[in-house]
Amino acid sequence: MAILRGLNDQVFFAIDFINREQNNTEIWQHVNLSFNTLWSSLNIKSQANNNHSLTTTNNGNKIEITNFGTIILCRKPTDEIQLLSDNITNLIQENISQFSFEPFEPSFELNIKIIDAKQETFLVETFLDLTNFIDGFYLGDAIGMKFYIQRNSLITFNSELIAQS
């Protein structure tokens, strides 16, 4: 699992690779996503039989929706995980000041930018497109959050991302 931790070591965003689907020309990676704040969480899990679930918890109240959409990342012909990792590496090395990542199958978006290079602080904005899960049509972002991370968290996230891919 690759985890983005905030300034107080809180887990804000996590991505976990599950299984792959392959045909003659394409490979798709199924993933679980987790979005967390101090008070609430949103978890999207892929199940073996395509019975995916979305669970949200807010101040102890839990709601679960099953038979939900899935999150997939392209591995071939274009490796989106490598693309994400390359962007993170360029950001860490300050070759770029920000980037935006949205998979070919739009289900979430991840934006990261340098806020203070001396303090090694980055702003992360992540959005989930719930409409794509519910009815299969991409209509825009539905739930989002932003948080701050330190360079070490970004380096660790990138290492975890590559290690599990």
Position 54 scores a pLDDT of 67
Query: 90-121, pLDDT tens digit by residue?
Result: 999 999 999 999 888 767 889 999 999 888 99
| pLDDT less than 70: residues of the chain | 47-54, 63, 65-69, 106, 130-142
Q: Give the SS3 label for residue 72.
A: strand
Which residue range forms the structural domain that includes residue 110? 2-164
Position 162 scores a pLDDT of 94
Q: How many angstroms separate the Cα of 127 from the Cα of each of 24, 55, 134?
A: 32, 16, 16
Position 141 scores a pLDDT of 53
Position 138 scores a pLDDT of 54
Position 135 scores a pLDDT of 58
Position 79 scores a pLDDT of 95
CATH code of residue 116: 3.30.2450
Number of domains in the chain: 1
With the CA atoms of 147, 90, 3 and 9 taken in that order, what torsion angle do they form, in degrees rounded to the nearest 10? -50
Position 50 scores a pLDDT of 57
